[in-house]
Structure 1
Amino acid sequence: MHGNLRTAPADFLAGGGEMSALMQTFDWGGTSIGPMDLWPQSLRTTISIMLRSPIPMVLLWGADGIMIYNDAYTVFAGGRHPRLLGSKVLEGWAEVADFNANVMRVGMAGGTLSYRDQELTLHRHGAPEQVWMNLDYSPVIDETGKPGGVLAIVVETTERILAERRIAAEKDRLRELFHQAPGFMVIYSGPDHVFELVNEAYYQLVGRREVVGRPLLEALPELAEQGYDTLLDEVYRTRQPFVGRSLPVYLLRDPSKEPEQRFVDFCLPADLRQGRAGHGSVCRGQRRHRAGSLRGASAASAQRAQSPRQEHADDGAVHRVADPANGGFDGGRAGGDRGASVRALAGA
């Protein structure tokens, strides 16, 4: 009814772009697959589909893996195009002959292969270069019911891989700078102020204990009555920056001993991630080794109303500032309420 289903010699190449024109003029009689008018319909149909695809594809036909490819593959081939056309795959890509030998062995036996971000060294422009690709290989069944060739889909991922590596290297560099910072630095997440990242100076302040991945009051339970959780709640809720100076804090650096008093300068800047789900807080500061300004404060000064003042920081923002030396905090007095200063500041 349909007569000979095989198309005219070059009809299947119509609409295939640059590679259609090159294929029509190529001397296929000099290859193991013979002249085009003798090609089986399975080969013609596969080429017709491949030529019209926007995805880089190459057909490796016959036992020699004679290379036939589309326009998109010419971009991947670089300077090896058009010499690859009609070549044996093990010779066309000689630098990866072992890899392609396995492809041909598996594909011609009816198997498939799939690789993600496969790294190979190719000589596409006269010099070796590292290339990453997503590769998928499938057998093409011919008129005998057996594989007549292998169809490969080749999507280069080099640009993405290199970009991801640059980003990862930059993150590592920033993380190292974070850990080496001379002042203590902390990144919290969420309303429970879970420790995401702390640096070496912070461990020197609070003692060697597991804090990362734990909420503030679980990691440092001694802060529960000191008001720092309330202060973080306020910063988290309002997203308003805060600066504290010479604020007292009692830390259980050694579980076998009583909490030790420290005085710290610190700031809680506005969260750079605000507006995103799961935003948190950042704390950076330094320990004060002496608290002379606190201990020298007069009783009258220590009893004055404890209200934070404001000042303009270098970034132009207005920050709430707590400065006990300016007359409001009694954290340096023995026996005083450890959390009164910070709770008053936070409005508790």
Structure 2
Amino acid sequence: MKPGASVVDLAAAFEASPNPYLLLTPDLRIAEVNHAYVEVTGARREEILGRPLFTTFDAGPGEDAPENVRQVRASLEKARDTRQRDHLAVVRYAMPRKLSDGQEVFEERIWSATHTPVLNAEGDVVLLLQHTMDITDLSPAIRTDEPTTALDALIGGSVLRRAQSVQEDNRRLESERNRLVEMFMQAPGFVAILTGRNHCFQMHNDAYSQLIGHRDIAGKSIRDALPELVGQGYHEFLDTVFETGEPYEGRESLAKLQRTPGGPLETLYLNFIYQPIRDEADAVVGIFVQGHDVTANVLATQRQKLMIDELNHRVKNTLATVQSIAIQTARSHVDPATFAATFQSRILALSHTHDLLTRTHWEGADLRAILEHETEAFGPTRINLNGPATALPPATALSLGMIFHELATNAAKYGALSTPDGRVLIDWSLADQRDRKLKLVWREIGGPKVTRPDRRGFGSRLIERNIRHDLAGEIDLVYASDGLIAELTVPLDRTPAP
């Protein structure tokens, strides 16, 4: 047979079929009709080809006409969009008929229709085939101009009622299914339906798609769709649920997912449940996946715990510092009045550094701000600050704040700031940017002659303890004849002592 012969034969068979057939384009325009369709509708082929179906046949002016048109349109669109055959067991649809005097009236008819998509080699819908059957004769109530026998009424009416009942049930089920699917797709948590032993994705909602980076996973097994989950336990959980029929629930489970093409694995925390899906024989045929991304909550809880732990650590350290200040101050001040004044000034210095740190949410404090506060009582003309902007870690800021307070207090009592013309020069710099070290020189000039003290007071001991123990740094106190020189070196990128 020649290639063209089969086309001719099909066209001839289409035209000669006693069943009414209509071919539509995907936008529901009439592409072709056969002779039987022309006969049953009374239409002229040349007048209807190329016209929109529902303009050509609009179901008349009756009250039910819009609903009848909607049912037929919905069935055609469903067949087109799903690429699956769709049936209308019973549908009322009035057709125009001309009377002997030439007047056109609409005649109530009852039809049964099947709509079949015609696909090309690429699987695209190119035509829709409508096969209709006029079943008006099965409804005695419609055939008002013909005598009705009891048998006709019993059999015909019963058959039609059963067909209508089945179609209404199917329509109701379809409506309920569509509502469930819509709820499924709009669920705030992620949802997916996996089918078969390989856990192939049959359906998933937008939240699930967002969770996995909007990958194309439809029809794929979970091992192919999400290969990065290998070794994380999730595939094994699914296998166990399918085999045992027992659900599995995960709480704040860590998962590493690739959420951008070629991107790194991102750490997420998930609450989820794997629920087995059973068929009518109670056999497991799939798994329902439902859950929520709780990463933000888990990280917030971890941050809160870290903050509480850090707060406990700081409170303990602060209390220990206050206790040490109180004990050492009491040892060097027999008089309660002088003890109270000295102790209060030291606690205020500690408090001020705490204020600076609180303003930055305990992320650090600026070196210049600490120095300015501890020396502001002497005025800017007597204090010369020279150095780059330097952010200090919280522990370092607290210790240096106490050290600068002691140096300023000693300078005011015994050093350069105890005379009208004395000054303090403070220079600092940062060395080794890969492992930063602060180098600072406190130099007093213009004050009384300085000599090394016979014994070390609390201030000296506090300075040396903070530098060497708390900050793992070094300090050199030089008692030069023209004023004290304190040279200190402190590492800035180290873990603070507990």
TM-score bucket (shorter structure): 0.3 to 0.5
More helix by percentage: 2
Answer with 1 or 2: which has the greater Rg. 2
TM-score (norm 2): 0.31
Answer 1 or 2: higher relative contact order, Cα 8 Å, separation at least 6: 1
TM-score (norm 1): 0.43
